[in-house]
Structure 1
Amino acid sequence: MMGIMNFTHHHETHHLHFRNHSRIAGVGANDTKEKGHHSGGCYEQLFVSPEVFVILGIVSLMENILVIAAITRNKNLHSPMYFFICSLAVADMLVSVSNGFETVVITLFNNMDKNMQHFIVNVDNILDSVICSSLLASICSLLSIAVDRYFTIFYALQYHNIITVRRAVVIISCIWTACSISGVLFIIYYDSAVVIICLISIIFTMLALMASLYVHMFMLARLHMKRIAVLPGTSSVRQVTNMKGAITLTILLGVFVACWSPFFLHLIFYISCPRNPYCVCFMSHFNIYLILIMCNSVIDPLIYALRSQELRKTFKEMICCYCMGGIWDFSSSY
């Protein structure tokens, strides 16, 4: 989906799924420059160097491959929680890499003949489907992690009976199947307002559910800390652990909202007020919103994985082994 809008910045003839509608609002590739000249540049599509997309894509690729490899290598991480993290890493990796690759293809073949441009449009549609499916899978994986942590806190004794590895694999398979179908349909029927309204509704439903889960868990963590604090002779280790968990949940929700909110607002404005000058001005900065989403793909491994001591230990062993010229054995266990 990110590459969808990015394409028109480089190739004006592509009938783009979102940005081509900005032409209706009077901010097409040629019109934006003229309007921007007369209105202080607010309507001009903000340019972001393709190198930025490529660098973020490479960084995201390296980080998420490291996460996936670590979870694969360490059998102690073969649990539902880390399988959901692995699904998130795959989704984030596909989002960033596909968008970066798409930017490179468009930049290299932008000035080719019409036959080549038609080929690029087809490639772009395929990559857009991958990106859209991965975005949906990323949100679903985030929700799965939130639900997993919710059961960990509220149903600690029954957790291993409720959330099993087999059920986690089935859930992940269902997520990717549903998201892949949805991504393809979204690209095919991109010009239908109903499709975008459905997408917005799904996104905000997931956001609302995630927010309620995180707030509930955060309040529970604070309540536990207050109860533990008044108990005589209570060790401070547990208090520190609870505080760390509460802070982690706050960071997760805050970063997710910060990185995705501009994109969600862009979709809302695109449907509700495509001709309003303020909405058009906001949508003209879409490239920045793409960068924020890619940054979320880079930040996610740091939040979800690097705060795990077991993952950090595996990372260090893998990096040290690589620096020493060795090749780790993925079949090994700890």
Structure 2
Amino acid sequence: MRTERASELIKILGHNGNPPENITDNATNNTDCIQVVVPEEVFFAISIIGVLENLLVLLAVIKNRNLHSPMYFFICSLAVSDMLGSLYKILENILIIFRNTGYLKPRGDFETTADDVVDSLFILSLLGSIFSLSVIAADRYITIFHALQYHNIMTMRRAISILAIIWAFCTGSGITMVIFSHDVPTVISFTSLFPLMLIFILCLYVHMFLLARSHAKKIISLPSSRVQPRANMKGAITLTILLGVFLCCWAPFVLHILLVTFCPNNPYCACYLSIFQVNGMLIMCNAIIDPMIYAFRSPELRSTFKKMFCCSGYKWN
């Protein structure tokens, strides 16, 4: 069992919103930048909202049979990832409260084990988001390139199998990364997933939009075929928005990990480390923004939300 080692990947955010002491000392000694402090109540409120919003997405897909499709199942996977990121912060705060009130022995066996479990949730959230976005991109790619064969290629059984493999891999990887979080190779492999996902999705995007451009004139000449390509491209645009939000919310944290690992004593790096709480808040905000994107881009999902709030007696399809 781990005793004196904290998860370096996660402790950048720090328990109770505070960074590790060695990082704080380095930042203070090597830069004049003032540490930006975000109240813990803000983190907790954002996390609660994130859990509730993504739970609402899951309930909407479960209740409405019209949403029982591979695309929405992949969206549910992303919603679960966002929810785990919010749940991480909630459980972390609960552990802090128990420790501060004396119910948990500092650095005791139970706290260490619980700390590992909570850290695994955070890493699982990032890995789940990366692979969920990637599989959503692949799904959109198939709808554009193989629209007529889509339902034969991406069946419900195949979609569920893909998600099962993804989450099994993410769970194993998350546990491994927590155990070996003090090793530089772990940090490199953790952060390398970010650009790899970006390259994979960009390659699909380039191919998709080149195809759309080459077929633009054909689509115009076939009025009866306009609806399906537009619907497919709408899904690709939705993915673009989700990917953009994901990168904006998680990239600062990934950069933070790299700077802490490779140049913690550099004045410029230390200055960036002073805004680590802002980076942590951005991650929490990602879980709030994604469900809004789903509702804004999907009329069916938006309609389901309205029925859930306004028509409790409505018989779902």
For the aligned pair, the TM-score class normalised by the smaller chain equals: 0.7 to 0.9
Q: Are 1:144 and 2:151 an aligned pair?
A: no
CA displacement 1:72-126 (0-9 Å, x = unmatched)? 0111111111111111111111111221331343256336488245344432221
Counterpart of 1:181 (choices 172, 179, 183) is: 172
Counterpart of 1:260 (choices 236, 245, 250) is: 250
Does the Cα contact within 8 Å between 1:50 and 1:104 map onto a contact in 2? no
Residue equivalent to 1:287: 277
- Give runs of aligned pairs for residues 126-137 of structure 1, distance below 5 A: 126-137=117-128
Give the superposition deviation at 1:152.
0.6
Greater relative contact order (CA < 8 Å, ≥ 6 in sequence) = 2
Residue equivalent to 1:106: 96
Residues 260/216 of structure 1: CA separation in 2 closer, same or farther (3 Å cut): farther
- Give runs of aligned pairs for residues 250-329 of structure 1, distance below 5 A: 250-322=240-312
Does the Cα contact within 8 Å between 1:3 and 1:127 map onto a contact in 2? no
Q: What is the root-mean-square deviation in Å for CA atoms of aligned residues?
A: 3.0
Does the Cα contact within 8 Å between 2:13 and 2:277 map onto a contact in 1? yes
Secondary structure of the equivalent of 2:38?
coil
Counterpart of 2:154 (choices 163, 166, 178) is: 163
Residue equivalent to 1:35: 29
Give the superposition deviation at 1:249.
4.0
Moved more, 171-180 or 264-273: 264-273
Q: Are 1:6 and 2:13 an aligned pair?
A: yes
Query: Separation in 2 of the partners of 1:156 and 1:236?
Result: 13
Residues 95/10 of structure 1: CA separation in 2 closer, same or farther (3 Å cut): closer
Q: Are 1:192 and 2:183 an aligned pair?
A: yes
Counterpart of 1:63 (choices 47, 53, 57) is: 53
Structure 1 residue ranges without an equivalent (≥5): 12-18
Structure 2 residue ranges without an equivalent (≥5): 1-6
Query: Separation in 1 of the partners of 2:204 and 2:128?
Result: 19
Output the TM-score relative to the length of structure 1: 0.81
Residue equivalent to 1:53: 43
Moved more, 124-133 or 299-308: 299-308
Does the Cα contact within 8 Å between 1:10 and 1:110 map onto a contact in 2? no
Q: Are 1:72 and 2:68 an aligned pair?
A: no
Does the Cα contact within 8 Å between 1:6 and 1:103 map onto a contact in 2? no
Output the TM-score relative to the length of structure 2: 0.85
| Identical amino acids, percent of aligned pairs | 46
Residue equivalent to 2:4: none
Query: Separation in 2 of the partners of 1:176 and 1:78?
Result: 19
Residue equivalent to 1:209: 200
Query: Separation in 1 of the partners of 2:256 and 2:84?
Result: 22
Q: Which amino acid aligns with 2:82?
A: D
CA displacement 1:226-256 (0-9 Å, x = unmatched)? 6545x49789877975774564344233222
Residues 107/35 of structure 1: CA separation in 2 closer, same or farther (3 Å cut): farther
Does the Cα contact within 8 Å between 1:87 and 1:172 map onto a contact in 2? yes
Secondary structure of the equivalent of 1:95?
helix
Q: Are 1:88 and 2:78 an aligned pair?
A: yes
Q: Which amino acid aligns with 2:29?
A: K
Secondary structure of the equivalent of 2:181?
coil
Residue equivalent to 2:87: 97
